[in-house]
Structure 1
């Protein structure tokens, strides 16, 4: 009989936001032992899938059209492990009343995601950590790129080529060594994809690549051919990182 601790954990994503599914899918790919077998834009599609397929873990949004995540969980018999993923913290109490494993608030950081997975699958925690991912790390060093939605397609962006990222009202501009990409994502959702070892938020509107930093003061940074401001809320963290 196979050792259960070495069998993959089948999981699905249920979220009506494509970019939110992209983040969770990427995180799942980074964790050994997790196997994504389906993703759905609404709970009704997921319900039909579960009638035919056994699932160990569901990453589930709460606020969705037609059937909410909470209503979906209440409808399940012998529900698998549930990790809520939502932008609405007001649902936390009701979620935990359903005895779900964890409640992740968007934008989801990788270290927090990994903690939730280890809580859901404590018997596999050693397996996950010994594959080079620990609770203190945010992203697998082997991940060298991200995908951004731009011009009606998903564009591959190499992390080493990013200079800085700027939020501009409803859009985000990602400045690279080859120009810039405009995407209609939030800067927080992009920040959640980035490694803390490579990037740092210096302002509500700016994230910079640490390796591209030329000089700095307590008020500004020089990066590329630009001088960017350091926001008061981000100053202490930025200066602490530069002193290490």
Structure 2
């Protein structure tokens, strides 16, 4: 569960952000704060994973508020002022959303904060000590995946099948698009139609990879990837 906090002095901004978060699984609103002092008081006693932070607020501005946090969580800035974007990255924020922003841009910011980034936020699950998460659109809903549960991904025409430890999900997407979202040190393309999670490999025999109860073929063009993995 991603616990989040909204800090913004505009009521409509709270409605928009919460509405977007409600479309996603595992997003839990902990508190809506309408100024930075209210948020400061809340964070003195509670922890969150993510803050949606406006910059132009009364009493204490957004960046001034960030300076007061000793161990800040992930920060996604939401503001109407583009000129502060460069300064924002000096505070190691995850993303900078310029108002008004749509759901697609909002989703990209969530993926950037909790998905395939160099210093991605990790969340516990039952099968591994750490696991990143990312969102994929399927029809009119958005599915959230924990990378640690994915066994392999198979491309079939215009669709891909994501085989996890608990289920198989088919979505209309390109394999190359999914590869961009996955941690490169955890997933490996072994065939033009197959990407595997290296942590779930049971054995490699000839041109076959055994993962759980599945057998994945190794393509001629991708044998070098396996050689590098075995080194």
Normalised by the length of structure 2, the TM-score is: 0.52
Partner of 1:29: 22
Residues 1:50 and 2:43 aligned together: yes
SS of the residue aligned with 2:41? helix
Aligned length: 126
- For the residue of structure 1 that corresponds to 2:59, the secondary structure is coil
1:124 and 2:133 correspond: yes
Deviation at 1:130, TM superposition (A): 7.0
Match of 1:19 among 12, 20, 38: 12
Q: Report the secondary structure of 1:91's partner residue.
A: helix
Q: Rg: which structure is higher?
A: 2
Shift of 1:23: 0.5
Aligned pairs for 1:56-205 (under 5 A) are: 56-122=49-115, 123-125=132-134, 128-129=135-136, 132-133=141-142
SS at match of 1:133: strand
Structure 1 CA distance for aligned equivalents of residues 20 and 137 of structure 2 = 17
Deviating runs (4+, > 3 A) in structure 1?
A: none
3-state secondary structure, aligned to 1:129: strand
What's 2:218 paired with?
Answer: none
Please list every run of 5 or more consecutive structure 2 residues that lacks an aligned counterpart in the other structure: 116-131, 144-231
CA distance in 2, matches of 1:39, 1:108: 19
Shift of 1:32: 0.9
Normalising by structure 1, we get a TM-score of 0.50
The runs of 5 or more residues in structure 1 that have no matched partner are 1-7, 135-244
Q: CA RMSD in A?
A: 1.7
**SS at 1:98 equivalent:** coil
Give the corresponding residue for 2:34.
41
Instruction: Give, in whole Å, the separation in 1 of the partners of 2:27 and 2:101.
Output: 18
